[in-house]
């Protein structure tokens, strides 16, 4: 969410657009003062032009146009004065023509520099434990692409704290690797703003294996005290285990599966409403002749907000006649965007990546058992918070019930049966890595093109 902009003495608004002449030297003489055109090598240089009325709402715009050659790469660039320690909101809108993969080819960047144009160190600590002895430096920032606006224009924006030793921010607006294409950049601004409010969420996991139950609802009832304990610790989300309605009941999945929504979701929905939190519960789902291994999301209003059907099935589930799902839904909650995956999904990076591609900030993971290294990997490679709930004994070192942070560390975990672990996190916090910076913002720009729907 964009913070309210409190304009101060520094309000830098520039406008920019497209289509255009193919000068190879300096930009058009009509371009606003201070802007330059840059390319990594002259032979990769696209065409640049400034149009006084071709931008958003009839304002000016900077345009970049690529011919039929592969690999062209160029940007409009300008340096702006900033004050270290202050917060700045960057915003720009773009309109593209014939760009196949916008997330990789249409990129805005911010680079922090000192008064002499040199790099500046980070103020906050970076992830520890690797590249020991290295100093964390402020790396390139990559503003996020927001929802498309009207008239074919799309916003790219983010809010940053300037490092204390920064004196300037170099803004560059790119078109790269997109033959026969064009982009117009318009309404570019860098303005000082108040510090954005944190987005605090408390994530809880339950470590419990049902026993003694004779029906699915017997098992469901056994989780009530743990949900109450998570609520006592002010949890916003509590994650329960996989197919909790089947554990130790002694029947096959097809005998136990129920529609979703159904009796189990009604029960957990009432607990979610009572305690004012979200619950993710692993349940067997029947849909006509099909049975799915599913996870249901219950909201604080008591309703089932959605479900996820496990896409990766191990041998036993295939032999039981369970059907795989094929969708990767992400749900808006009061604290942020939530995705779900189930057990064996964790062995395959594609599931968590698809959820992250769709904006998931937290992934709930009901998991019977799994290699704990994979939990760390899925959290780290996507920079999401991952909440696992397992039936494995901690002593097995096969899986733990825990909350994993962006670096893959378990920041809260249970060490005994019948316990609850809660971690408080800020979804607005940027995890910084030595040599990488904020890797989460780089993922959309740098990850490969591997999906047919993207090509």
Query: Which of 61, 312, 343, 370 is the catalytic position?
Result: 343
- pTM of the complete model: 0.92
pLDDT category at 28 given cuts 50, 70, 90 is low
- The residue from 139, 155, 242, 285 that is catalytic is 242
| CA neighbor of 91 nearest in space, from 181, 15, 196 | 15
pLDDT score of 4: 37
Across the range 269-287, mean pLDDT stands at 98
pLDDT in tens, 329-376: 999 999 999 999 999 999 999 999 999 999 999 999 999 999 999 999
CA 312 to chain CA mean position, Å: 22
Per-residue confidence (pLDDT) for residue 372, from 0 to 100 = 92
Which one is catalytic: 59, 95, 307, 310? Answer: 310
Could you report the per-residue pLDDT of 188-243, keeping only the tens digit for each?
A: 999 999 999 999 999 999 999 999 999 999 999 999 999 999 999 999 999 999 99
Q: Determine the pLDDT at residue 17.
A: 42
**What pLDDT does 64 receive?**
98
Is 310 marked active-site? yes
For 153-189, what is each residue's pLDDT tens digit?
999 999 999 999 999 999 999 999 999 999 999 999 9
State yes or no: pLDDT of 19 exceeds 80.
Answer: no
Mean pLDDT of the chain: 92
Q: pLDDT digits over 131-161, tens only? A: 888 899 999 999 999 977 778 999 999 999 9
Residue 10: pLDDT above 90?
A: no
Q: Is 343 among the residues known to form the active site?
A: yes
Provide the percentage of residues in the chain whose pLDDT is more than 70.
93
């Amino acid at each position: 969410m964009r913070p309210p902009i409190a304009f101060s003495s520094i309000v830098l608004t520039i406008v920019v657009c497209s289509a255009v002449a193919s000068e190879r030297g300096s930009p058009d003489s009509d371009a606003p003062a201070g802007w330059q055109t840059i390319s990594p090598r002259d032979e990769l240089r696209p065409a640049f032009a400034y149009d006084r009325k071709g931008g958003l709402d009839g304002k000016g715009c900077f345009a970049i146009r690529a011919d039929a050659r592969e690999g062209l790469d160029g940007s409009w660039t300008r340096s702006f004065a900033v004050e270290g320690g202050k917060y700045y909101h960057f915003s720009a809108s773009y309109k593209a023509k014939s760009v196949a993969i916008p997330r990789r080819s249409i990129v805005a960047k911010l680079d922090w520099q000192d008064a002499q144009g040199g790099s500046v160190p980070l103020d906050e600590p970076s992830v520890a434990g690797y590249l020991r002895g290295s100093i964390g430096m402020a790396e390139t920032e990559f503003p996020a692409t927001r929802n498309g606006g009207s008239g074919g224009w799309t916003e790219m924006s983010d809010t940053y704290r300037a490092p204390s030793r920064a004196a300037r921010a170099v803004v560059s607006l790119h078109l790269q690797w997109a033959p026969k294409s064009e982009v117009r950049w318009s309404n570019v601004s860098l303005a000082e703003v108040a510090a954005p409010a944190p987005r605090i969420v408390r994530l809880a996991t339950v470590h419990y294996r049902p026993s003694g139950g004779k029906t699915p609802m017997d098992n469901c009832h056994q989780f009530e005290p743990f949900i109450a304990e998570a609520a006592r610790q002010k949890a916003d989300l509590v994650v329960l285990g996989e197919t909790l309605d089947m554990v130790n009941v002694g029947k096959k999945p097809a005998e136990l599966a129920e529609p979703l929504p159904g009796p189990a979701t009604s029960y957990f929905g009432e607990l979610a409403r009572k305690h004012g939190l979200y619950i993710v519960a692993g349940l067997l789902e029947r849909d006509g002749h099909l049975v799915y291994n599913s996870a249901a999301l219950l909201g604080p209003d008591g309703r089932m907000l959605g479900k996820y059907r496990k896409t990766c099935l191990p041998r036993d589930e295939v032999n039981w006649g369970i059907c795989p799902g094929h969708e990767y839904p992400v749900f808006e909650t009061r604290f942020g965007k939530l995705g779900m995956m189930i057990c064996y999904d964790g062995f395959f990076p594609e599931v968590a990546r698809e959820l992250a591609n769709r904006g998931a900030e937290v992934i709930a993971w009901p998991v019977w058992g799994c290699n704990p290294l994979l939990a760390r990997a899925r959290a780290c490679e996507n920079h999401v918070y991952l909440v696992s709930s397992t039936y494995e004994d901690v002593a097995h070192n096969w899986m733990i019930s825990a909350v994993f942070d962006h670096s893959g560390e378990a920041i809260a975990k249970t060490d005994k049966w019948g316990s609850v672990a809660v971690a408080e996190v800020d979804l607005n916090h940027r995890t910084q890595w030595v040599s990488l910076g904020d890797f989460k913002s780089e993922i959309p720009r740098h990850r490969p093109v591997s999906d047919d729907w993207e090509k």
